[in-house]
Amino acid sequence: MATIKDVAERAGVSVSTVSIALKRDPRVKESTRQRILEAVQSLGYRPNGIARDLKMQQTQTMAVFLHDLGGPFYSELVSGVQDVALSHGYSPIVACSVGGKGVALERLLVENRVDGAIILDPYIKEDFIRRVAGPTLPLVLLDRDIEGAYVYRVTSDHEGGAFNVTMHLLEMGHRQIAFIGGPSVSVDGQLRFRGFARAMKHFGVDLQNRLMIHGDFTEQSGYAAAVTLLSQGRLPEAIFAANDEMAIGILRAFSERSVRVPDDVALVGFDDIRLTQYTTPALTTVHQPMYELGTVATQILFRALAGEKSITPVLLETQVVIRASSGLRH
């Protein structure tokens, strides 16, 4: 691999001249630049980005960490990040935050291979985040509630969305409403429960223990929850699944057993993943502004990188999307 030194030699100039010539610095004479460019060509020289990063003490790269890359709405999030990052001359890369020791999280964050990161993963330990964040590595956390220096936060209004969609169910006359929750670590799952409980209280409806079931945001856990409910003998009037994946699992369990949605039981989810438009019946859910989440988070990252100090947490609105599964004719 040819280095800048080889180019300098071939062109008969010094290394420093090559370096500045390559960034079109007007200090170098046009004729010498040409000579240098020829040398570059003939040697197939490509600058070594790592050497550059080391010298510059920055990488112009930022990372997005996701718990599992396959999540159905992450692509929009990443688009949002991408659009803003590119306009700042940065390259976003996406990495999976799981995998244990020696993995991307270590390599990129601990060993400073990126200038900043956006993190969407309820499982990453709080003290890891606080330890690793710093003036040279601001971190923007999505849907987490961690305070710390150089740690910033953007969250969707899970509680508000959950409140609104629960109100929707209540207004349709349902009172016996089951709640299928997410894993206990996930703040967004907790907030969704809070919104649900607040709406129930608002209508003066008591929560029933047997209708509060814990899942883990997977389709299978939704399926299992449906089976649990069915085993209780009588179904509730409605079910609020804390995310769409679980709602889809529930739908599958019901369809296999000929339980009709929404006639026998109404069902709503959360997230508005693409699939919800295609299920039978289409799923009422709460839309999360994923693209906006990406752009806002990235903007905050650049403000932090620019040295801005006090950046307040951002809360983004969510929106109820009413479809057939909740029983409203439209």
Partner DNA sequence: TAATTCTATCGAAACGTTTCGATTATAGAT
Partner DNA sequence: ATCTATAATCGAAACGTTTCGATAGAATTA
Which residues are near its own copies by CB under 8 A?
1, 46-54, 59-61, 63, 68-71, 74-76, 78-79, 82, 86, 89, 91-96, 99-100, 102-104, 107-108, 110-113, 134, 136, 248, 274-275, 278-280
Closest CB to DNA among residues 4, 267? 4
The answer to whether the CB of 61 falls within 8 A of the CB of 88 is no
Contact 42, 31 (CB under 8 A): no
DSSP label of 134? B
Tokens for 22, please give them: 């390559």
Nearer to its own copies, 15 or 103 (CB): 103
Could you tell me which of 111, 168, 199, 152 has the C-alpha nearest to residue 300? Answer: 152
**What is the rounded distance in angstroms from the CA atom of residue 215 to the CA atom of residue 270?**
14
Question: Do 4 and 15 contact (CB within 8 A), yes or no?
Answer: yes
- Token digits of residue 138: 């601001």
107 vs 252 by CB, closer to DNA: 107
- List the helix and strand counts (H, then E) for the chain: 12, 12
Q: Is 72 exposed, middle or buried (0-12, 13-18, 19+ CB in 10 A)?
A: middle
Report the candidate in 206, 204, 179 with the shortest Cα–Cα distance to residue 193: 179
To the nearest whole angstrom, how small is the minimum distance from the Cβ of residue 45 to DNA? 7
53-82 residues near DNA, rule: CB under 7 A: 54-57
Q: Is 13 in the site for DNA (CB under 7 A)?
A: yes
31: left (phi over 0), alpha (psi -120 to 50) or beta: alpha
Binder to DNA among 9, 19, 281, 315 (CB under 7 A)?
19
With CB under 5 to 8 Å by kind, the binding choice for 275 among its own copies, DNA, none is: its own copies
Q: Least distance from C-beta 294 to DNA, angstroms?
A: 30
Minimum distance from CB of 79 to its own copies (Å)?
Answer: 7
Q: State the minimum distance, in angstroms, from the CB of residue 153 to DNA.
A: 29
For DNA, which residue of 16, 42, 184, 232 counts as binding (CB under 7 A)? 16
Q: Which does 3 bind (CB under 5 to 8 A by kind): its own copies, DNA, none?
A: DNA
Interface with DNA by CB under 7 A: which residues? 1, 3-5, 12-17, 19-20, 22-23, 26-29, 31-32, 45-48, 51-52, 54-57
